[in-house]
Chains A and B, each alone.
Chain A
Amino acid sequence: MSHSFDEISAQLKRRHRKSARLKWMSMASLGIALLFLVVFFADMLNKGLPAFQQAYVQVEVDYNEDAETMGRAALDPEIASLVSRSFERLIPGMIRDDADLLGTTETRWVLTNSQVDQYLKGHRNELSDDEKAAIDERVEDGQVDMKFNTTFFSQGDSKMAERAGIMAAAVGTIMTMLVTLAVSFPIGVMTAIYLEEFAPDNRFTQAIEININNLAAIPSILFGLLGLAVFINFFGVPRSSPLVGGLTLALMTLPVIIISTRAALRSVPDSIRQGAFAVGCSRWQVVRDHVLPLALPGIMTGSIIGLAQAMGETAPLIIVGMVAFIPDVSASFTEAATVLPAQVFTWAGEPERAFVEKTAGGILVLLAVLIFMNATAVMLRKKFERRW
């Protein structure tokens, strides 16, 4: 009746082989997911890193009288077609501001146009063969060079790819996030404190709880519809402004903050509360002086994660009009602005090849900020993690 180990082992061979398949398949699945992550980051770095370099050309600028009205006249015609039009446009103003400049010449490094830049980076471009030859010659002489792209970090959007930067979007993001944080943090934390520490367990409380969980699962674009219908059409908040964007995102971030704050409050052991009640603290005093300080790291972690999520959000902002073309940095809550992901979206829609690089560059900056925020949250959690 009973079998020896060897008999059984022989029978088992086939089953073991079959079983190994599940292990390998599941391992391969994880491998595929992680491989995608690697491919994705490699692709973004490959596309985006060149955006941090921009081609400059050394030119002789001749501040003559013609240039006072038409900047192009100040440049050698052979090279004028390579220089960014944004520089040509600056020349008349420069002469007007500084009368001594008229009649002098100056050798300086200026931005090339994006076609030259793309040619030097080995991408598709619309340069003629003569122009390419001219560039090659100057590269040999060291008159055309790649330099760190300060424009990208200091300027707003532009229709000229070589002139387009993320500064306006970055400022817009900061303004929007300020509004989001100012609205969602206090309301979220207060809601969580109410539900966790004060609320009686009745239908009203349960309704709020169910509601918060549902809110967390509503597609983000519907928050955009809310922002449009309520904030813009009903309350008259200016369209495209950081105020309306921030408010819309705040409602989206609210459930994240509430849920994480509640988890943080719940992790504070009841013995602490009972101890404080025992020395005669009122409920609010217990929460303020004993529970909140202990829960604070958890609350911060959740809020940072919620904010990072809001920072990457685009869809509701498109609906409330935050995809505007914003060439100048503006630090107003009520004027039209754009945010980093919306800027990425706008650039992704530009047909010009040079904008692909800008888009990927903007994505790299966005990802860097988000990874930094999430890493901070993880560190906070690790540092203050406490086992009771």
Chain B
Amino acid sequence: MQTNQIFLLFCGILLLLGLVAFFLGRAKAARVRGAGISMYAQPDQYAWFTVLSTAGPALMVGAIGAFVMLLLGAEIPTFYLLSGSLVVAAVGLAVGVMQVRPEFHARQAIEHVIRLLLAGAALISIFTTFGILFSIIFEALRFFQKESLWEFITGTTWSPGASFLEAAGRAEEGSGGGQFGSIPLFAGTMMITLIAMLVAIPIGLMSSIYMSEFAPHRVRGIAKPMLEILAGIPTVVYGFFAAITVAPIIVDVAGFFGLDAAYNNAVAPGMVMGIMIIPFISSLSDDVINSVPDSLRQGALALGMTNSETIKHVVLPAALPGIISASLLAVSRALGETMIVVMAAGMRPNLTANPLEDMTTVTVSIVAALTGDQEFESSATLSAFALGLALFVVTLTLNIVSVVMIRRFREKYRINDL
């Protein structure tokens, strides 16, 4: 509370100084101008420049101080830090007002600062990526210091359960530490992704073929936004739908054929995930199909091909690279999808080829490892980061491959356009 008050006070004073700077700067500039001396910039620009020279360095000092405290653990009392930066602000104000001279390019100075600010903002996206990469790698390394990388890659048993007993100093109660073989998790992920793709790719692709090649203009105008609604539904809602509505239907249908299905089978989340991805595939394929030059269609039609023959033999083969790359993007989507599987798939690592059984996925295991009150340092918790790293690498690779493919596809038709 104390800190909060100091902080508010600091903000107030800084704001006040900024205002003072603005009016002082403008007044001085107006005076100079009033004396008939021509200046490089407008009075307002001088005013803004003084504001910048007041607040900029002060905020910078504050921010650097805060970082030093966080990074080096140095204890700088907040009060001193903030009053220090206020002093800097006052100095900045004085320097700024002094700079209000006819020969000073206030506009260029402001322009320069703005450009720096904008570039700084652009850097944040880079920081985010590296933040993700480093935070995950760092924690994953800590995991691999405790557990073997080889076992992680090749092991077929995933039971982190026992390891947190170990971390709690009760190793003897468990069966001698957890086991971290990630193959069952990836197998489960692949199974559910496969089911999703079996639903999404045919339906999405065929829908886009209908919309781009057959549908009357009005139908297309209605159907396209309706499909987009599917993409806008939150994944948690799909998860609920998969668990409550679809899974029991799957169990009933399987029962009808005399098969035994678990309620958290892989088919329900897979199917629902596929439905979620339909608009993704259809809108990307739509783009791709539309970018196949019309001259190819006309060439085939002019030879006496029917519409469908033209599509099957000319348009689709030409669009194939684009469609494949859309599918790769969709796969990467499905691999990283979390809520549907958390809610509808199982929690039990299960290496099986039967989609009617329950099985778990990488993302489910990440969530399971990080919820609940476990020691952060335990292998069970850190395993989430190792899985996250694997997920990151796989999805990033898929994205890059598909981006390169689609770029090649576009270039091909631009060149062929003569």
Q: Do chains A and B touch in the complex (CB under 8 A)?
A: yes
Residues of A with Cβ closer than 8 Å to B? 12, 15-16, 18-23, 25-30, 32-34, 36-37, 40, 43-44, 47, 186-187, 190-191, 193-195, 198-199, 207-208, 211-215, 217-226, 228-230, 233-236, 251, 254-255, 258, 282-284, 308-309, 311-315, 318-319, 323, 341-342, 344-345, 348, 356, 359-360, 363, 366-367, 370-371, 374, 378
Q: Which of A21, A194, A255 contacts B122 (CB 8 A)?
A: A194
The answer to whether B119 and A19 touch across the interface, beta carbons within 8 angstroms, is no
Residues of B within 8 A of A215 (CB): 125, 128-129
**Are A22 and B308 CB-contacts (below 8 A) given A212-B125, A214-B129, A221-B336?**
yes
Q: A214 → chain B, closest Cβ, in Å?
A: 6
**Are A312 and B202 CB-contacts (below 8 A) given A43-B241, A194-B119?**
no
Residues of B within 8 A of A319 (CB): 366-367, 370
The answer to whether A258 and B209 touch across the interface, beta carbons within 8 angstroms, is no
Residues of B with Cβ closer than 8 Å to A? 70, 107-108, 110-111, 114-115, 117-119, 121-126, 128-129, 131-132, 135-136, 138-139, 202-207, 209-211, 213-215, 223, 225-227, 229-230, 232-237, 239-241, 243-245, 275, 278-279, 282, 306-309, 311-312, 329, 332-333, 335-339, 342-343, 363, 366-367, 370-371, 376, 384-385, 388, 391-392, 395-396, 399-400, 403
Cα distance, A254 to B124, chains bound together (Å): 9
The answer to whether B121 and A222 touch across the interface, beta carbons within 8 angstroms, is no
Residues of A within 8 A of B229 (CB): 37, 371
A-B contact count (CB 8 A): 254
Residues of A within 8 A of B114 (CB): 284
Nearest residue, chain B, Cβ from A318: B367
Residues of A within 8 A of B241 (CB): 40, 43-44
The answer to whether B121 and A194 touch across the interface, beta carbons within 8 angstroms, is yes
Residues of B within 8 A of A282 (CB): 107-108, 111
Q: B31 → chain A, closest Cβ, in Å?
A: 24
Q: Which of A37, A47, A193 contacts B118 (CB 8 A)?
A: A193
The answer to whether A33 and B230 touch across the interface, beta carbons within 8 angstroms, is yes
The answer to whether B363 and A26 touch across the interface, beta carbons within 8 angstroms, is no
Question: What are some 23 contacts across the A-B interface (CB < 8 A)?
Answer: A12-B306, A23-B210, A30-B223, A30-B227, A34-B223, A191-B125, A211-B129, A217-B329, A221-B338, A222-B136, A222-B388, A224-B370, A226-B135, A226-B136, A233-B376, A255-B125, A312-B235, A314-B235, A314-B236, A345-B339, A371-B229, A371-B232, A374-B232
Interface of B, secondary structure class, is helix
The answer to whether B206 and A198 touch across the interface, beta carbons within 8 angstroms, is no
Q: B35 → chain A, closest Cβ, in Å?
A: 24
Cα distance, A202 to B132, chains bound together (Å): 25
Residues of A within 8 A of B139 (CB): 225, 229
Q: Which of A25, A218, A345 contacts B392 (CB 8 A)?
A: A218
The answer to whether B226 and A37 touch across the interface, beta carbons within 8 angstroms, is yes
